[in-house]
Amino acid sequence: MPYVTTDDGAEIYYTDWGSGGTPVLLSHGWPLSSDAWAAAALYLAEHGHRVVAHDRRGHGRSSRTWDGNEMDTYADDLACLVETLDLRDLTLVGHSTGGGEVVRYVGRHGTERVARVVLVSAVSPLMLRTDDNPGGLPIEVFDQIRAGEKADRAQLYRDLADGPFFGHNRAGDVDQGFRDAFWLQSMACGHRAAYECIAAFSATDFRPDLAKVDVPALVIHGDDDQIVPYDVGGARSVELLADARLLTYPGSGHALPDTDRDRLHADLLAFIDA
């Protein structure tokens, strides 16, 4: 299996599909792996693009490091991957935590290699409620997730998959296969990495990073997102980007790469090929 090795010795697993066309890099959500993007990767590769997707450190098949489970290191790991594969004219696509990862990459490494950015149900600009972010979510929300991770992570992932992640607690069923895949990928994430990443996705302030995005951006968010509420995520991020367009998916939840697959794939391809 292909890996790149970071400066601190972490092994970052990745897939690299397709050839020709402009490259696309897909960054996944917590506590999943690049498998969460498998359908999109296949679709974009079949439509002529080189598609790279990695497992964030601590997640999936990458090293379960004790240190570095925070956004700066995630972004530097991403830079290691981008530079090792010499990706240029690149489209960065991030779902949920992956959205934060790709904008922190831009904040730390610029857009010399980046042509466009896509944020899907992204955690940017800042999920946590603070004095200067009064519209955010209270710390108790994330403390509850941390408590669940420590007490019984296997059940936490069942509860998320059967409830707010896919919107299974709303009207209509979500396929058992999607929920099983969420649980399986989540259990492959290291315990410390999963625990530390809760702080990374909730408390990292991406507002300065969004201000540095000087390439076209597409923001996609469901207006019934129960993990990153629409007004906390997509609607706010697009206000902080210089050249961005917001696509709102009415009635859709957080897991757009699964629940809104066909529409998302078409919107991604149209933006990349524009």
Catalytically active residues, by annotation? 96, 225, 254
Q: For residues 176 and 271, what is the distance between their CA atoms, to the nearest angstrom?
A: 31
Q: For residues 139 and 67, what is the distance between their CA atoms, to the nearest angstrom?
A: 23
Phi, psi at 52, each rounded to 5°? -115, 135
Buried b (16+ CB within 10 A) or exposed e, 76-111: bbbbbbbeebebeebbbbbbbbbbbbbbbbbbebeb
Residues in the chain: 274
Q: Which helix (H) or strand (E) holds 24?
A: strand 24-27
Tokens at residue 252, please? 């859709």
Helices and strands, number each (H, E), in the chain: 10, 8
Phi, psi at 15, each rounded to 5°? -110, 150
